[in-house]
């Protein structure tokens, strides 16, 4: 029997994670240790039996990749009608008693997957069912540790409702945040392209401007199998690397996609400011802003003057940066020497407290984006 103090600590850690998703790691680690397990965590199994995200403590991510690539479609338990209904707490023992034990033990998933990791015993079940996409929480323990007992099942069942409530809070907070930053009507009014990408780099939203840009001949960018791709071969690696770096290392970047007989597209790839545990198929992990200097009227100089205490010339300079122009091009447009243009750039960076031009563009873009949406 779990004592009250330990139980309270577990519940508190779960609700801490509900309010701050970055705290799921210690919360899941606490649960793993409490149930004498070698691994524990969440995973999402889609309606078409695909792995679509996971978060585990004590499990090598490569093993989940192997599960997704080779075993998810052949998981023996998910297709059984009603078995994965949210609220049911299952164990390998209860499953083997109610279904054919040998069928499971002789399966490729068991022999080549779980047993090789010494994940002989399991306990868990679905927390949430969203149109057939199941969020599952599962514990694994070794053969030596033995089956999960009835007492442990009862103990987990008492914590289950707190896990479920924490997920609901996560989702509710995420919805509120998304509504505050993702107003599609407002985004569609912007004179710049906005794309949202999920954790796998797939496009989950394009505003109207972006969609119209895609339809233009020689637009310089396209969507291929739900992924953003540069239209011209010499730009492909550049865009792929920017997105890959943002996904893997949380690195923002600004790149130029050259186009024949047209100005280069300016592309800003910006990761989410925090890691969120979002049980939604449309998780926003990256934001991609695209500006087309040939079709761009972003001249909120008055706002930049008042917001950042820029001089009118500095504000004009900043607007040119937002339009994707290089320092050399801006010097030509404003009839400045290169040295003077570089001095303006440094002055603006100093006022906005950034060290690099890419950081300056991203900060200006984020701030102006919020200003436009507030209007």
Region 316-337: mean pLDDT is: 85
* Pairing of β 253-259 and β 227-230: unpaired
Looking at residue 276, its pLDDT comes to 45
Bridge partners for 266 per DSSP? 256, 291
Quote the crossing angle between the two packed helices 312-322 and 357-374, to the nearest 10°: 100
Confidence of residue 239 (pLDDT cuts 50, 70, 90): very high
Classify the C-alpha dihedral 55-135-203-291 as positive or negative: negative
Q: Are residues 357 and 219 part of one domain?
A: no
| Total count of domains within the chain | 3
Quote the CA–CA distance of 17 and 296 in Å, as a whole number: 42
The residue out of 138, 157, 179 marking a domain boundary is: 179
Q: Is 11 helix (H, G, I), strand (E, B) or coil?
A: helix
pLDDT for res 118: 61
pLDDT at 275: 44
B/e letters for 320-351, b = 16+ CB within 10 Å, e = fewer, are: bbbbbbebebbbeeeebeeeebbebbeebbee
* Nearest in space to 361 (alpha carbons), one of 291, 275, 312: 291
- The answer on 96 and 41 residing in a single domain is yes
CATH of the domain at 41: 3.30.450.80
Distance CA 346, CA 196 (A): 31
Distance separating alpha carbons of residues 206 and 216, to the nearest angstrom: 15
One domain for residues 79 and 145: yes
pLDDT band, very low/low/confident/very high, at 280 (cuts 50, 70, 90): very low
Rounded Cα gap, residues 348 and 344, in angstroms: 6
64: left (phi over 0), alpha (psi -120 to 50) or beta: alpha
Average pLDDT value for residue range 52-64: 84
Residues 318 and 271 in one domain: no
pLDDT above 90 (res 30): yes
Query: What confidence tens digit (pLDDT) does each residue in 155-194 have?
Result: 999 888 888 888 877 776 665 555 545 455 556 666 678 8
Q: How far is CA 186 from the centre of its chain?
A: 22
- Specify whether 29 is located in the same domain as 167: yes
pLDDT of residue 357: 76
What domain range includes position 57? 4-179
Question: 258 and 321: one domain?
Answer: no
Residue 219 has pLDDT above 50, yes or no: yes
Do 59 and 156 share a structural domain? yes
Residues 303-320: what's their mean pLDDT?
Answer: 86
Write down the pLDDT at residue 40: 92
Residue 354 has pLDDT above 50, yes or no: yes
In a shared domain, residues 143 and 220: no
Owner of token pair 């449309």: 282
Asked if 293 contacts 358 with a C-beta cutoff of 8 angstroms, the reply is no
CA 286 to chain centre: 7
Mean pLDDT of 102-109: 62
Using alpha carbons, list the distances in angstroms from residue 327 to 57, 248, 319: 47, 30, 12
Q: Which of 239, 266, 294 represents a domain boundary (last residue)?
A: 294
Proportion of the chain above pLDDT 90, given as a percent: 14
pLDDT of res. 101:
59
3 state SS for 347-375? HHHHHHCCCCHHHHHHHHHHHHHHHHHHC
Distance separating the N- and C-terminal Cα atoms of the chain: 57
Is 143 found in the same domain as 34?
Answer: yes
Q: Does residue 238 surpass a pLDDT of 60?
A: yes
Q: CA 195 from chain center: how many Å?
A: 13
Q: Residue 267 maps to which CATH number?
A: 3.30.450.20
Same structural domain, 222 and 247: yes
Last residue of a domain, one of 179, 205, 234: 179
* Per-residue pLDDT, 283: 67
SS3 129: strand
The answer to whether residues 209 and 324 belong to one domain is no
**What is the percent of the chain with per-residue pLDDT over 70, rounded to a whole number?**
78
Supply the pLDDT for residue 191.
67
Could you give the residue ranges of the DSSP H alpha helices within the chain? 4-19, 24-34, 61-66, 92-98, 101-105, 108, 150-181, 184-187, 208-215, 233-249, 301-308, 312-322, 327-333, 338-352, 357-374
Residues 6+ apart with CB under 8 A from 84: 77, 78, 125, 126, 129, 134, 136
Q: Is 361 exposed, middle or buried (0-12, 13-18, 19+ CB in 10 A)?
A: buried
Three-class DSSP category at 107: coil
State residue 28's pLDDT score.
94
Q: What value does the mean pLDDT take over residues 205-228?
A: 86
Task: Dump pLDDT digits (tens) for 110-168.
Answer: 655 565 666 788 898 888 888 788 888 989 888 888 889 999 999 999 888 888 888 87
C-alpha to C-alpha distance for 250 and 10, rounded to whole angstroms? 30
Q: Could you give the count of Cα atoms lying within 13 Å of 288 in the half-sphere of its Cβ?
A: 31
Q: Are residues 211 and 340 both part of a single domain?
A: no
């Amino acid at each position: 029997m779990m004592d009250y103090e330990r139980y309270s600590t577990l519940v508190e850690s779960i609700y801490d994670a509900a309010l701050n998703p970055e705290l799921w790691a210690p919360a899941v680690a606490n649960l793993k240790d409490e149930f004498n397990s070698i691994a524990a965590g969440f995973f999402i199994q889609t309606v078409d039996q695909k792995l679509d995200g996971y978060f585990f403590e004590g499990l090598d991510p490569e093993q989940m990749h192997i599960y997704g690539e080779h075993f998810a479609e052949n998981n023996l338990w998910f297709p059984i009608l009603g078995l994965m209904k949210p609220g049911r707490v299952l164990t390998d023992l209860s499953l083997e008693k109610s279904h054919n034990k040998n069928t499971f033990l002789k399966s490729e998933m068991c022999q080549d997957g779980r047993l090789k990791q010494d994940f002989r015993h399991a306990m868990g079940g679905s927390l949430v069912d969203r149109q057939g996409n199941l969020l599952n929480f599962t514990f694994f323990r070794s053969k030596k540790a033995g089956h999960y007992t009835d007492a442990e099942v009862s103990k987990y069942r008492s914590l289950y409702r707190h896990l479920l409530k924490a997920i609901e809070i996560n989702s509710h907070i995420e919805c509120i945040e998304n509504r505050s930053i993702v107003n599609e009507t407002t985004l569609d009014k912007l004179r710049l392209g906005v794309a949202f990408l999920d954790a796998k780099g797939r496009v989950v939203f394009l505003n109207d401007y972006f969609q119209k840009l895609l339809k233009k001949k020689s637009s310089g960018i396209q969507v291929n199998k739900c992924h953003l791709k540069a239209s011209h071969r010499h730009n492909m690696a550049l865009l792929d690397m920017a997105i890959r770096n943002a996904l893997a290392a949380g690195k923002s970047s600004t790149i130029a996609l050259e186009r024949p007989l047209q100005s280069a597209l300016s592309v800003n790839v910006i990761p989410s400011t925090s890691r969120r545990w979002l049980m939604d198929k449309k998780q926003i992990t990256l934001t991609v802003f695209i500006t087309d200097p040939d079709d761009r009227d972003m001249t909120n100089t008055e706002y930049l003057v008042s917001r950042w205490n820029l001089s009118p010339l500095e504000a004009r300079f900043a607007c040119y940066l937002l339009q994707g122009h290089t320092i050399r091009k801006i010097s030509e447009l404003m009839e400045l020497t290169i040295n003077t243009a570089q001095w303006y750039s440094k002055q603006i960076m100093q006022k906005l407290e950034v060290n690099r031009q890419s950081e300056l563009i991203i900060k200006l873009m984020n701030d102006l984006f919020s200003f436009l949406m507030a209007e």
